[in-house]
Structure 1
Amino acid sequence: MTTASDSAPVRPDAPEPSRGLTEIADIVTPFAVRAAATLRLADHIAAGHTRLPDLAEVAGADPQALARLLRFLTCRDIFAEPEPGTYALTELAGELLSGHPANLRQWLDADEVAGRLDTTFPYLVDAVRSGTPVHEKVHGAPFWADLGASPARTESFDRLMAQVSQSTRGIGTVYDWAGVRHVVDVGGGTGALLREILQAHPHLRGTVADQAGSVAEARRYLAAHGLGDRADAAVHDMFDHLPAADACLLSRVLADWDDESAERILRTCAAAVPEGGRVLIAERVLPGEPAPGTPDTAEDLAETRRLTSHDLRMLVLLGGRKRSVADYARLAGRAGLTLHTSHRLPGGATVMEFRSGSTP
């Protein structure tokens, strides 16, 4: 019987492909790691289920198929096999434990919302060709509509975003809130970020402006933290109208949108604040161009790698994009806003302060 690989012509002088590029392009490894995360193999092994039959039973897997998966992963030092049919954790496998601070297992779990999002990536080439998201093509609805259609997906997504929100940690203390009396957190979700700000500045009042489901939760959350007298939440469309305030905060919002949509949001914010009022953008930003003759630092390169990965996620899922401070300044300028200051936060995001109707 002839197989596809048997029939492929082989040139005796054909060069071997680059091993490095082959490993980078390998599609099996990322899915094998996701299978291990979904089956919670690290958790089960840590709990003492180290022998194959026991591990397969507790993981709900076929023993022979699981052995093949683990053979693949142990060859790559993701798990260890100290003796035949007995498995142990390596340092890498330890990062798949549910209790690990990085919470990587949840991001790799194929049964969670993150796994659903990952299924859009086989259509990356379509997104690159069109410049538009492909989530609807894969799942039958745009990202936000698909998410809202399932309480389970919404709950899974909220848990993921609770981890992402750590990037804005410190905004209540690093940024100078003097002169602000009322801040509107646009798309503020459950109100966790507004709580951090208000607790650090007793003179401030705040409003979460979001969709109905988030607003109800934000009201409960803020009241539970003793802020019911200084904070509220209200349903508002950030493309249309926002309540009047001294400052509008857009934390991890604009990266979800293309330039045209982001500019509309910024115009709505500019209309909600007085002359000289503040519009604050808090996002992880792409590093700017280094000065001539100054190479990128290792930290800049590592951050760029992370953010370019997030940038492609924004493309396939939402049509949004990651931007640099200069990108945001140009975008905000078209909405009548001028960059005043920017500060890097301890969590990794940058808070950029723009002023309405002001000059540099």
Structure 2
Amino acid sequence: MTTASPAPAPGAPDRPEPARGLTEIADIVTPFAVRAAATLRLADHIAAGRTRLPDLAEAAGADPQALARLLHFLICRDIFAEPEPGTYALTELAGELLADHPANLRQWLDADEVAGRLDTTFPHLVDAVRSGTPVYEKVHGASFWADLGASPARTESFDRLMAQVSQSTRGIGTTYDWSDIRHVVDVGGGTGALLREILQAHPRLRGTVADQAGSVAEARRYLAGHGLGDRADAAVHDMFDHLPPGADAYLLSRVLADWDDESAVRILRTCAAAVPEQGRVLIAERVLPGEPAPGTPETAEDVAETRRLTSHDLRMLVLLGGRKRSVAQYAQLADRAGLGLTASDRLPGGATVMEFRPLRP
């Protein structure tokens, strides 16, 4: 059962909105204070009735006086409320930190989860901007993927985060036209969750997950467990080198944003080498909005989406050296791989499916 975000607590002060200047925007304390609240599960403890400071500190495993100072800081920013001295309550913002909030924000802000490990790379953003290369290995001693694979706990935490991110491709099984496709290869398809959605929507389709050995073993179990063992399989393939040839469609879902342009072109060339003349390569990604037509102002939705994606774009730079792109930028990369854009469709989850077909000589 999902708990709705609570209304401001009774007695919470009605303060005027302060001016938001550059000093406040650049403030480093607030984001880490919010992450501390998320990591200590303060919203959940308060919702469970641990509202008095001694009880809340005990539940959170925190020093009472230090916790009071953290809460005082957050109360001044209307993230928590103190309706009575030493008694704390949730505001609407604090409600977003509840474990069962549909946005699942607490997991992304928890310093003890893999997301917290990702956040520790951002103090080195200037190094990434100067070099144009990721800095994750500089911080953690190994590349992102190697560091993740070295820890089952980090891998499990990352998989839970990605289960939320995968909602961006929700609806791909029904929004895109699969009517003349018999076999689809999900390149870098992980555990097979996206392939499952497609195959369940189209009972005549066959599918293959092409990924690394660890993912392939899990994908086989996952797909068989969902009753798809007769129509779905998984095979070990290096998307930079070789893919099973002859399928009607090769799907790259949330893959290319992890890579720089040259690496992305290499992956697309591997797909182009495998796809038959009448086949297609599909890219599913959240894309940067294109330039509006001359004289047409950007919509509020475009502005909001651009703000979100530019944040993701910097994460890709710092962590992996990848980037967010527009449909036009993906088309330019695909053209270098011998593929031409033929269609694009926005999915209900927010991602866009772009269809590419082999260019004729």
- The bucket for the TM-score relative to the shorter chain is over 0.9
Distance change >3 Å, CA 314–CA 2, structure 1 → 2: closer
Distance change >3 Å, CA 13–CA 235, structure 1 → 2: closer
1:335 and 1:264 mapped to 2: Cα distance?
Answer: 8
Q: Which residue of 2 aligns with 1:273?
A: 275
Distance change >3 Å, CA 347–CA 15, structure 1 → 2: closer
Shift of the alpha carbon at 1:271?
0.9
Distance change >3 Å, CA 57–CA 265, structure 1 → 2: same
1:266-323 Cα shifts (integer Å, max 9, x gaps): 0001111101310000000000000001110000000000000000000000000000
8 Å Cα contact 2:182/2:248 also seen in 1: yes
Q: After the TM superposition, which residues 59-138 of structure 1 pair with which residues of structure 2 at under 5 Å, given as runs?
A: 59-138=60-139
Distance change >3 Å, CA 9–CA 107, structure 1 → 2: closer
1:144-187 Cα shifts (integer Å, max 9, x gaps): 00000000000000000000000000100000012111100001
Q: Scaled by the length of structure 1, what TM-score is found? A: 0.93
Q: After the TM superposition, which residues 141-160 of structure 1 pair with which residues of structure 2 at under 5 Å, given as runs?
A: 141-160=142-161
1:2 and 1:186 mapped to 2: Cα distance?
Answer: 34
Distance change >3 Å, CA 233–CA 12, structure 1 → 2: closer
8 Å Cα contact 2:5/2:96 also seen in 1: no
Q: CA RMSD in A?
A: 8.2
| SS of aligned partner of 2:5 | helix
Distance change >3 Å, CA 51–CA 18, structure 1 → 2: closer
Distance change >3 Å, CA 326–CA 61, structure 1 → 2: same
Distance change >3 Å, CA 263–CA 300, structure 1 → 2: same
Distance change >3 Å, CA 67–CA 11, structure 1 → 2: closer
Q: Does 1:32 align with 2:30?
A: no
2:97 and 2:5 mapped to 1: Cα distance?
Answer: 35
| SS of aligned partner of 2:317 | helix
8 Å Cα contact 2:5/2:95 also seen in 1: no
8 Å Cα contact 2:192/2:219 also seen in 1: yes
Q: Which residue of 2 aligns with 1:299?
A: 301
8 Å Cα contact 2:4/2:101 also seen in 1: no
Distance change >3 Å, CA 220–CA 13, structure 1 → 2: closer
Distance change >3 Å, CA 9–CA 226, structure 1 → 2: closer
2:317 and 2:219 mapped to 1: Cα distance?
Answer: 29
Q: Which moved more, 1:304-313 or 1:235-244?
A: 235-244
| SS of aligned partner of 2:297 | coil
Shift of the alpha carbon at 1:203?
1.3
Distance change >3 Å, CA 260–CA 17, structure 1 → 2: farther
2:4 and 2:343 mapped to 1: Cα distance?
Answer: 60
1:77-123 Cα shifts (integer Å, max 9, x gaps): 00000000000000000000000000000000000000000000000
1:268 and 1:258 mapped to 2: Cα distance?
Answer: 16
1:184 and 1:327 mapped to 2: Cα distance?
Answer: 23
8 Å Cα contact 2:187/2:251 also seen in 1: yes
Q: After the TM superposition, which residues 261-340 of structure 1 pair with which residues of structure 2 at under 5 Å, given as runs?
A: 261-340=263-342
Shift of the alpha carbon at 1:18?
8.4
Distance change >3 Å, CA 25–CA 217, structure 1 → 2: same
Aligned residues: percent identity? 90
Shift of the alpha carbon at 1:20?
1.3
1:6 and 1:281 mapped to 2: Cα distance?
Answer: 39
Q: Which runs of 5+ in 1 are unaligned?
A: none
1:43 and 1:126 mapped to 2: Cα distance?
Answer: 37
| SS of aligned partner of 1:5 | coil
Distance change >3 Å, CA 167–CA 12, structure 1 → 2: closer
Moved over 4 A (4+): 1-19
2:165 and 2:12 mapped to 1: Cα distance?
Answer: 49
Distance change >3 Å, CA 190–CA 13, structure 1 → 2: closer
1:6 and 1:209 mapped to 2: Cα distance?
Answer: 44
2:193 and 2:225 mapped to 1: Cα distance?
Answer: 11
Q: Which runs of 5+ in 2 are unaligned?
A: none
Distance change >3 Å, CA 11–CA 94, structure 1 → 2: closer
Q: Which residue of 2 aligns with 1:253?
A: 255
Distance change >3 Å, CA 112–CA 337, structure 1 → 2: same
1:26-71 Cα shifts (integer Å, max 9, x gaps): 0000000000000000000000000000100110000000000000
Distance change >3 Å, CA 344–CA 5, structure 1 → 2: closer
| SS of aligned partner of 1:263 | helix
Shift of the alpha carbon at 1:6?
43
